[in-house]
Structure 1
């Protein structure tokens, strides 16, 4: 069993309906040497009280409180700044993990020497129906990541040896974060597991998201963040659209 301390960052905003399932899935990990850094982002429901109760019951739970709602990027950045672990992983308050997620992920990273890893996950509807299984490639580089965000944030983990970078307040902030981290690391590898390691809850508002707005965000990332030329941006945009369709099949 690895002695590595994993810092799990969980932003929380009015998540009382799902919070228990998410937190319990972290605390039930077979790799028990972890700290769960929850960041309450100005919740007005029962979430702060629930987090406080968990912190009293389990010393691994730490609660940070934002004075006002500042968005998921700010909340994650506060969690990273407070993290003490030598690995960092992320889980939103409406998603959840397989009990062996961290154990298998750490073993994969030690075996491959990779500084970043990710895994396969289920997309699940609010009524419990499995919508699809998302299976990313075995390995990705920065060039691969220009086609799609192959790293589901709920499965992504990086070694602190790589260095921390902040989440930006931008559309597709998860994608921008992992795009930069993979650029710095050179590559990322998929955890080999007999089953998916996480469940991603697709909420109703996600199903009706504005696809044109998402495409606009993606174009801006190619031009303003990745600093690609016009022709390369257009080529990457076509690849992105294709992968977006395949991800939903």
Structure 2
């Protein structure tokens, strides 16, 4: 059973705090700000919520590269203890991209996370993560869809919302993805923030996030080959190297916003 990403309430409840849990998707890669830091959909969502709730507090525990076991070990209990009104949990996708992935273990850990977080907040938000068009995704699509089926089931059992980004063809557009082909651009993150905003019961603020981008002429063959070569050299080979050596891009990095504090961030 899939939870629809809309509310039946005319006016959503006033949420006064948000805690975001997860990996690079929730950290905000690749929505880079001029100072080199990352913004992302969770920051954009927090900005919107803060504009409507004086004293609004926000924490973002997400760290790039984290597997679901690390999210459970390092973030879930911290998030549950904060007593926030809304908690977002997005995790498990990094696991599905590993060559040796035990989906039974992933499902069990995700269930453990939801069982701890759902009672600790007024509204838990889960997501079916967006998927970029391309041959790499096709290889891992069965695992991803198994993960999403688990998310739907957990949401139905624990009263969580599911934001179905995977089911929105607009978000599979390669133009909404960074050159690393793993992370959304600023426009992609803006659309995700809008999707979560609507899922929490708010009326649409921006252009409908499901609307596909306007068509543009495809790049020339030479440009495509150059882009493929750059991607392989700068992103794919280092990514494979980390997989083979058991390292992660997030090793040693702290949480983005480790404490639940008043938020005055980038404008939405």
The normalised TM-score by structure 2 is 0.27
The normalised TM-score by structure 1 is 0.28
Q: Which has the higher strand share?
A: 1
